[in-house]
Structure 1
Amino acid sequence: MTTTMSSPTIILIAGHWLGAWAWDEVLEHLKTDHSRAIAMTLPGLDGDDPERAAKTLDDQAAAILGVIAQHGNQPAFFVAHSGANAPVSLVIDRHPELVHRVVWVDSGPVATGSVFAPDLPEGLKELPLPSFDILAQQASLEGLSAEVLERFRARAVPEPGPVLRQPVELTNDARRKVQTTLVCCSIPGAQVLELARAGHAMFAEVANLEDLDVIDLPTGHWPMWSRPRDLAKAIHSAVSRTN
């Protein structure tokens, strides 16, 4: 079936080490709202792909566009979590006309020239999920049970080195006009906006957005597991207010 403008597709894309499976609980709740939602696994994060460690941000952006093409090349809603912000920022820059709204989940748009891990050694082909002690120093694990952490560890796929080392090159100012929602979890929305106005490198691009709203969803960095029902409600709210 071809997606129509009256029922655009919601494409959910998880961050580093994660595939489409990360959204299973959120999808269950979204379907109760009769939303046309799908989750995708980015190239490089399919554990069965023998060439996955060589995938790049360009490969990931192309795959996202491929999903849109499968649904009639009609504008879609994007829900991007954490490190999915780099490939999604590329897609918005290259084809803003294909984006109804982007919902950043404890994430946000990146600035041109951004590199996630500029110091990652060239010889390192991939970055496995670190220990949870180390991960907790970088992102909040609040709300994640031992069972969830065990599943995270069991299903996580190492992040391809090229994805982490590739600079994000953006040239189209129209990306800043796309309707945007920040779902702020581990950092309150007011603080995110303050950091953006102060020019903090991680949030500076937020200050350039022309159509922005903020939803606070206090929890850790993985709300699809800690508060899946509430995250689905936040996504539905953002989609419903889109012009």
Structure 2
Amino acid sequence: MSTGKGTGTGTGAGAEAGPGADGRPPVVLVAGFWLGAWAWDEVASLLRADGLEVHAVTLPGLGSVEEDRADVHLADHVDAVVDAVRAAGRPVVLAVHSGAGVPGYAATDRVPGLVAAAVYVDSGPGNGALDPTFDGVELPLPAWDALVEDGNSIDGLTPEHLERFRARAVPQPGGVIREAPRLADDARRVVPTVVLCTSYSSEQVREAVEAGYAWVGGLAELRDVTWVDVPTGHWPMWSLPRETADVIAGAAATAARRAAP
């Protein structure tokens, strides 16, 4: 399993609100390595068309190639996710892609009562460093063959997808790759969780949990997990945006039913 199972970045936000008047929680979207809020554009549009309030996050260091990433740490990414969750003003569905599973899981540890559901999009609740041996200031987007060799399927992506990805990718801050999250609140274990399995099947992810991979380590302790298999590549927000949006919207609908009096 790869480091590229991986992360999203940025502080700010790409946040826009939709109606959300039917009791469904707002949705916070966080993409993985090399990506900002823009990576969710199509999924976010579909969710808003479905009547959901949506906030897409760009994590620190991922806003532009020009940013200084030398002092960007995992704690900064966790803070950015927590800030986005709190800014929604009520419990949210937190959907995190790839390596954003590490700060995403740490955010559910920080504010478990504000996460109505967590959705891991070809990702998992990481409870350790993705690559503690990584010693670089940043990790640029690799060549496609190297990315695939590292376990990141590009199935379903068109040449146009790949061209846009390459043009807009921002190097991943090294600190968030080598640092481990701090987890302290056992309430995170009862946050309802959906694991959307795309480039790896649910069976393969379960095997990764049993093997002790850090990027899915939290699945060994979570008590309410729903598995969804939607076979495609590692970037389903591009290859299957409708299906990805439907899984996230489904988590919001389930959260609303659970919260109903």
Superposed pair shares fold, TM > 0.5? yes
How many residue pairs are counted as aligned between the two chains? Answer: 237
CA gap of 1:195–1:164, structure 2 versus 1, over 3 A, is: closer
Moved over 3 A (4+): 48-53
Is structure 2 residue 106 aligned with structure 1 residue 90? yes
- Matched residue, 1:118: 132
Q: Following TM superposition, by how much is the alpha carbon of 1:191 offset from its aligned partner in structure 2, in angstroms?
A: 3.1
Q: Following TM superposition, by how much is the alpha carbon of 1:217 offset from its aligned partner in structure 2, in angstroms?
A: 0.8
Query: Residue by residue, what CA displacement relative to the aligned partner does 1:149-185 show, whole Å, maximum 9, x if unpaired?
Result: 0100000000111111212221222111100000000
SS of the aligned residue for 1:152 comes to helix
SS of the aligned residue for 1:174 comes to helix
Equivalent position amino acid for 2:116 in 1: H
TM-score (norm 2): 0.85
Is structure 2 residue 153 aligned with structure 1 residue 136? no
Q: Distance between the aligned counterparts of 1:49 and 1:101, measured in 2?
A: 34
Q: Following TM superposition, by how much is the alpha carbon of 1:194 offset from its aligned partner in structure 2, in angstroms?
A: 4.2
**Identity within the alignment, %:** 43
Residue pairs, 1:4-153, within 5 angstroms: 6-47=23-64, 50-72=67-89, 74-111=90-127, 114-121=128-135, 124-138=136-150, 139-153=152-166
CA gap of 1:51–1:67, structure 2 versus 1, over 3 A, is: same
Gaps of 5+ in 2: 1-16
SS of the aligned residue for 2:116 comes to strand
Q: Distance between the aligned counterparts of 2:137 and 2:96, measured in 1?
A: 24
Gaps of 5+ in 1: none
Q: Distance between the aligned counterparts of 1:241 and 1:71, measured in 2?
A: 18
Equivalent position amino acid for 2:63 in 1: D
- Matched residue, 2:201: 188
Query: Residue by residue, what CA displacement relative to the aligned partner does 1:194-234 show, whole Å, maximum 9, x if unpaired?
Result: 443x3432434313211110111100000001001111111
Q: Distance between the aligned counterparts of 1:168 and 1:5, measured in 2?
A: 35
C-alpha contact (below 8 Å) 2:93/2:117 kept by paired residues: yes
Q: Distance between the aligned counterparts of 1:89 and 1:204, measured in 2?
A: 10
Q: Distance between the aligned counterparts of 2:182 and 2:83, measured in 1?
A: 20
Q: Distance between the aligned counterparts of 1:222 and 1:11, measured in 2?
A: 17
SS of the aligned residue for 1:101 comes to strand
Q: Distance between the aligned counterparts of 1:40 and 1:221, measured in 2?
A: 19
C-alpha contact (below 8 Å) 2:55/2:84 kept by paired residues: no
- Matched residue, 2:172: 159
Residue pairs, 1:199-214, within 5 angstroms: 199-202=211-214, 203-214=216-227
Equivalent position amino acid for 1:110 in 2: G
Q: Following TM superposition, by how much is the alpha carbon of 1:39 offset from its aligned partner in structure 2, in angstroms?
A: 0.8
- Matched residue, 1:241: 254
Q: Distance between the aligned counterparts of 2:70 and 2:43, measured in 1?
A: 28
SS of the aligned residue for 2:149 comes to coil
Which has the higher mean CA deviation after the structures are superposed, 214-223 or 6-15? 6-15
Match of 2:236 among 216, 223, 231: 223
TM-score (norm 1): 0.91
RMSD over aligned Cα, in angstroms? 2.0
